[in-house]
Structure formats: structure tokens, C-alpha cells
Structure 1
Amino acid sequence: MDFKIEHTWDGFPVKHEPVFVRLNPGDRGMMMEVSAPFFNDPPSPLGEPGKPFNQLWDYEVVEAFFLNDITEQYLEVELCPHGQHLVLLLSGRRNVWKQGLDLSFKVSRGEAKWEGSAFIPWSYFPPNVTKFNLFAIHGSKDERSYEALYPVPQHELQQGQKPDFHRLEYFKSFSFNTLLGEKWNQPESDLWLIEKPDV
């Protein structure tokens, strides 16, 4: 599955080479490969490369969201060209349930481009992923740029509206069965088991 982020969050064409993302599912999980312009703005977070970094969305990142639109459970994976990452499990819009999970993530970087490869275990995905979106962020202050694979349609924009990547209603249909076949079932995950209170 190949995707290009060609629009800003509000539907205007990006003014640079689009961010390219390839999703390649396998037996134990999915490989997410990124090829993107390197802006180096903002500068690198102070966190160690290869480790989770909280609030990575304040830096230069590419993000993938995988949603079950019935339960509103979703996985958010953020990848930074400097090597840091952030994995969030959310149950309900913006309701972070688990965060800072480990991720196997490797980056190579040139002056104008970066490439990253992250392995996401099946256990990180919510049961029955049905929808999906991709985002990219770079720039500082007034030059901050927010980009989306599936942007908010321009006719639905409201005056003064700000970018919000948790507008789940704008995600589009997505199924791993497209690549893995109709008979494939997503492995169950202990991470998503919500403990029931004792009766």
C-alpha cells in the first residue's frame, strides 16, 4: 500500500515533494516506510534517537493513525527524521490510554531528504481496523505546516478552524485484507483488553 501526502490539512496542495509512505503487512506486524523531504525545522528533540519521545508532535514528524470507527479505538504512530518515535493507543477521541511503547525504527538522512522504516507489531493495532489517515508536520511558529492524506474538505472548513488530526470523521476506509487476503484475520492483542471491574 503506497500513499502520498499531497495536501495541507485544509485541502491545499503542498509546496514541496510530497511525503511518501508505504505500508507493508507481514506475519508478525506491519512495516511502515517513510520517504520525505527533510526540513530540519524545528531542530531535533533532545530525546535519544530510537527511544519514545513525549509530545513529538511539536517537532518534525510523519504520523499514521489506524482506527476502528465503531469503538473509536485507534493507534497513533509518530516518526521523526531525527530517530525519535511516539506510539499512542487511544480509546475515544484524544483519550490516550497507553503511550511510549517501544518501536523498532531506523532512519537514514541526507541534507534534503530522510527515510525511515518502523516495524509495528500487530498487538499495537486496535481490533478490526476500518479507517486510516496519514499526517506530516514541519516548520516553526508562523511557518508551521500541517499536512494530511485525507484533509478536511474545504467546503466544511469553518472560520478560524485550526488543524486537528483527531477529526476521525475525515478518515477514509482501510483494510489489511486488501493485501493479506479476505480470509486473513488480525491477530488478537492483549494490549487492547480492557480490564473489567470486579463485580
Structure 2
Amino acid sequence: MDFKIEHTWDGFPVKHEPVFVRLNPSVGGVMMKVSAPFFNDPPAPLGEPGKPFNKLWDYEVVEAFFLNDVTEQYLEVELCPHGQHLVLLLSGRRNVWKQELALSYKVSRGEKKWEGRAYLPWSYFPPNVTRFNSFAIHGSKDKRNYEALYPVPQHELQQGQKPDLHGQHLVLLLSRGDAFAVSTTNFC
């Protein structure tokens, strides 16, 4: 399955080439491939490439979320163009029960583009995934950009609302609006 992140978290078009995410299910898990512009902002985390890095969401990342909306259990996968990754298993909003899980992750990076390949074992997924969303985050301080495959629908935005993606992920995933029209029936 192929996806393009072409909008900001609040529904406006991005001002660069879209981020591509491909999910290829197989017998043992899912190969997640990312192809994205490379902003190098913020600079690389201090962690070792190929290893988990806590709070990776503070850096340039592409994220994927796989949710069971009945149990509210979800898998969060974060991939960084510098080689670090973060895999979290959560049960409800911000309730991490497993973190910094091992991941087979390879990245190649050019001056303006990066590509990553991560193998996600089925054992990381909650049973009966019903919803999926993906995000791209880059930039520093007031230039921070939050982009979403399925943004918050414009009619659900509140005036002055700011992105709090770590807190909003579950809210976004549980949204009953048009934002999550992707069926995962044949996925897991």
C-alpha cells in the first residue's frame, strides 16, 4: 500500500515534495519504506544510528501509527533520516507499555532526499488493527512543521489550535471524521 503525506496536520498543502510511505505486508511482518525530502533541521540526534533513540519526535522524523480503535492499543514507529528509530507500544493516550523496541532499519541519505526501510514484525502490532495514520515532522522552534497523511478535518479545528502531535495521535486516530477512510481489513 502506498501513501503520500501532502498536507500539514491542519489540512494545508505542504510546500515541498510529498513524503512517500509504502507498507508491504509479508508472512513475518511489514516492510515500511519511506522516501522523503531531507531538511537536516533539526540536526542529527546524538544517538547511534541503527539504535532506538528516546524522544525522537523532537527531531526530523516520519512516523506511522497502527491502532485497534476498540482496545485503543497502538503501535508507534518513528524513523529518522540520520538512522535512529523509535518503536513504542501504547495502550490509550500516552500510556507507553513497551518502548525502544529493536528494529531492522536501514537508511540512505543524499543532500536533499532520504530513504528508509524498516521491518516491523507482526508481534509489534496490536491485534486487529483498524486505523492507520502517518506523520512527517521537521524544522526547529517556530519553523517546526507537522504534516499528516490524514490531517485533522478543517471543520474540527478550533481557533488558535496548535499541534500537539504526541498528545493528539490517539485523538486523531480515533477521529470519526473523513480523515481515516483507509481500510485495514486486508492488512493485518
Shift of 1:82: 0.1
1:93-104 aligned at under 5 Å gives the runs: 93-104=93-104
Matched with 1:177 is 186
Matched, 1:138 2:138: yes
Max Rg structure: 1
Shift of 1:169: 2.3
Matched with 1:113 is 113
**For the residues of structure 2 that align with 1:60 and 1:174, how far apart are their CA atoms?**
28
Matched with 2:43 is 43
**For the residues of structure 1 that align with 2:186 and 2:144, how far apart are their CA atoms?**
36
- 5+ residue gaps in structure 2? none
Matched with 1:58 is 58
Matched with 1:149 is 149
**For the residues of structure 2 that align with 1:156 and 1:50, how far apart are their CA atoms?**
38
**For the residues of structure 2 that align with 1:44 and 1:176, how far apart are their CA atoms?**
37
TM-score for both structures, normalised by structure 1? 0.87
- Structure 1 window deviating more from structure 2 (141-150 vs 165-174): it is 165-174
Shift of 1:65: 0.0
- Structure 1 window deviating more from structure 2 (62-71 vs 89-98): it is 89-98
Q: Deviations over 1:137-175 (max 9, x none)?
A: 000011100000000011211122121341222362431
**What percent of counterpart residues are identical?**
82
Q: Deviations over 1:70-119 (max 9, x none)?
A: 00000000000000000000001221111000000000000000000000
TM-score for both structures, normalised by structure 2? 0.92
Q: Which runs of 4+ in 1 moved over 4 A?
A: none
**For the residues of structure 1 that align with 2:58 and 2:185, how far apart are their CA atoms?**
30
Aligned residue pair count: 179
- 5+ residue gaps in structure 1? 179-185, 187-199
Cα RMSD (Å) of the superposition? 1.2
